[in-house]
Amino acid sequence: MKDCIFCKIVRNEIPSYTVYEDDIVKAFLDISQGTPGHTLVIPKKHIANIFDYDEELASEVFARIPKIARAVKASNPDIKGMNILNNNGQVAYQSVFHSHFHLIPRYTNNDDFKMIFKDNSKKYSPNQLKAIQESIEKHIGD
Ligand code: 5GP
Ligand code: ZN
């Protein structure tokens, strides 16, 4: 993709602080550094989001994430944990439409990363949950 910013990073047309690359993925520091060490893992092949992966590419990309995550964690003894985040679609805060996984090191409960989702469990009856389950289940393998 000619104008995709992450494809340009893959082609080294835009500089990046690359921490790992091979024939399948490139991992580089996110410019925003939400917390120190914030790293993006991207497939070198341009695909927009999670909905576009086939099983082969998913296997290849996901297989590489733990070793990159371990390296990020090992880079700083103050890193106590990590959030791995993947935004899909503008509504889900995706801003670069070349699929990527955020590795966000966590230092304390009070560092610069926050994630909020409500507990709506009391709003759902078993029947409602069953209906949701069935509507998802019937599309597996589409
Ligand atoms: P999204 O919001 O799509 O999940 O994440 C896109 C991420 O890409 C953002 O965290 C943003 O900081 C990062 N980003 C955008 N442009 C560049 C760039 O040119 N270089 C690097 N290293 N990161 C970028
Ligand atoms: Zn791209």
Ligand number nearest CA of 6 is 2
Predicted local confidence at residue 1, as pLDDT: 85
Q: Tell me the two tokens of residue 44.
A: 């070198």
* Cβ–ligand 1 contact at 140 (below 6 Å): no
Q: Is residue 77 within 8 Å of residue 126, measured between CB atoms?
A: no
The pTM for the full model equals 0.97
Q: Which of 38, 46, 98, 100 is catalytic?
A: 100
40-70: pLDDT as tens digits: 999 999 999 999 999 999 999 999 999 999 9
Does 123 have pLDDT greater than 90?
yes
CA distance 122 to 101: 31
